[in-house]
Structure 1
């Protein structure tokens, strides 16, 4: 079946599977791929978006409308927003011991996901690197203890521990460059052929190989979105009041401070500070929360 439909033909629903600036690859219900632009000068279309499209020529189309989103994962600063993916049900935060990962970035990803009620899973990749992996496991055990699944894999050897977590989900891979996201994606989707690159030992960093987001179907009910590596994750769109709630282990203590407008920084009678002093919550997590509040 050819994707072309005569001008004036009926609209159809499609799924955005790739974003290239203001051009979008849209998959129709019949499995056809159309290269589309957005009507007018509007942008803001993301991988995972469901859209109404109208074919305008062979393999070409126009996005007429965005459908309502279930979730929207994005980062922001005071000046702009960067959409990562739409309608995802879980985020796979990929970290590795080499190069060094940012624990602050992990916390920021978790907050963004919690603010949208998106499930979070931590994947510790490169477990074939035994000694550095042991150190990373000790650090990440904190997140496992508070309820986030921590999956240990080696993308070049065995990814089977991750596969059950992907069933019946639209997942998005997120993390810094060099964590092995593309290698992981290639192992999950052998035909993906995402570019990979060596890490820089001198700079303790990875090379930026993924330049655009792309959705891949795993089966009829499961899909995964690979996104470019991120080095910063702004949370300007999450209010100070909501940030505390996004630390899931803080929730039993919120509302129990001496002062109703407590910011949990250094106020007397702060339930979170008392909980940290008593070992009920992590000093480290409280420190990351307070650092966010002070910026």
Structure 2
């Protein structure tokens, strides 16, 4: 599935041909990234007859956005300056959704102290996240980043102003032409630019671009879900003296002890507290 608008679906066949399709009423709503079976009607149309099982899915406020995602990339920037608590909120939601997520630090050419930036993000690298340091303007690490995208389906998340659009245009130089082609094929017109759409990256891999998901509004999570969203906390969950330990003021708390000995970084623990209180 490339994109949809209402009941109209734009489906790409294995040969790369785009068809405007409708879906049978008994089939679940399909989204960009879905694998479907369709029956051809004429040269350019068809009917979707089956939706294949999804590996995963991404939702926002209970609305399904995309499916079969191999990698989320949280894009932050030197300017506007990154906020650790906001980063952790994104990571917690991704962890709870079971979606692989790593971090892009963009606009590094604006840094006055790049070593400090690497020190800041070593917190996340030690927790098992990959961090890519990029500059679209100066082409720093762009080729190596493109290699990471090969043969996988990706989505970029992040706040406004961090350079997601510039990065997407760097990866897909003819994006405007692609949008126009899909607009014509799907007959979506101006709605194409506001729809979640899958694009092929020339250097390899696919990108699902969703303007709505770029400004990802995080749904409310329970305290238990927030806790499980901090991946380096997991070895210590269930090791506290009290079964109902909230990991705040309780004695003999395994997570607080892990913070004291350096197994959990103080900033990550503080952000956990901020999210549950």
After TM superposition, is the score higher than 0.5?
Answer: yes
TM-score by length of 1: 0.76
Relative to structure 1, the CA distance from residue 270 to residue 192 in structure 2 (aligned partners, 3 Å threshold; closer, same or farther) is: same
Gaps of 5+ in 1: 1-15, 196-209
Distance 2:31 2:273 in 1: 32
2:182 aligned residue:
none
Gaps of 5+ in 2: 179-192
2:268 aligned residue:
285
Deviation at 1:231, TM superposition (A): 4.6
Relative to structure 1, the CA distance from residue 46 to residue 137 in structure 2 (aligned partners, 3 Å threshold; closer, same or farther) is: farther
Any idea what SS the aligned residue of 2:251 has?
Answer: coil
Any idea what SS the aligned residue of 1:63 has?
Answer: strand
Deviation at 1:166, TM superposition (A): 1.4
8 Å contact 1:173–1:181 — kept in the other structure?
Answer: yes
Distance 1:242 1:189 in 2: 36
8 Å contact 2:27–2:51 — kept in the other structure?
Answer: no
Distance 1:20 1:154 in 2: 34
Any idea what SS the aligned residue of 1:148 has?
Answer: coil
What CA deviation, in whole Å up to 9, does each residue of 1:139-183 have, x standing for no partner? 333212322111111123311231222123222111122221121
Deviation at 1:124, TM superposition (A): 0.8
Is residue 60 of structure 2 the alignment partner of residue 60 of structure 1? no
8 Å contact 2:27–2:50 — kept in the other structure?
Answer: no
Deviation at 1:133, TM superposition (A): 6.2
Is residue 257 of structure 2 the alignment partner of residue 274 of structure 1? yes
8 Å contact 1:151–1:161 — kept in the other structure?
Answer: no
Higher relative contact order (CA 8 A, sep 6+): 2
**RMSD of the TM alignment (CA)?**
3.0
2:183 aligned residue:
none
Relative to structure 1, the CA distance from residue 69 to residue 139 in structure 2 (aligned partners, 3 Å threshold; closer, same or farther) is: same
Is residue 98 of structure 2 the alignment partner of residue 113 of structure 1? no
User: 1:21-170 counterparts in 2 under 5 A?
Assistant: 21-40=6-25, 44-56=29-41, 58-76=43-61, 81-131=62-112, 136-158=117-139, 159-170=142-153
What CA deviation, in whole Å up to 9, does each residue of 1:108-160 have, x standing for no partner? 33223323443222111112212286665443332123221111111233112
Any idea what SS the aligned residue of 1:225 has?
Answer: strand
Q: In terms of mean alpha carbon deviation, does 271-280 or 51-60 score higher?
A: 51-60
Deviation at 1:41, TM superposition (A): 9.2
8 Å contact 1:152–1:161 — kept in the other structure?
Answer: no
Relative to structure 1, the CA distance from residue 270 to residue 37 in structure 2 (aligned partners, 3 Å threshold; closer, same or farther) is: farther
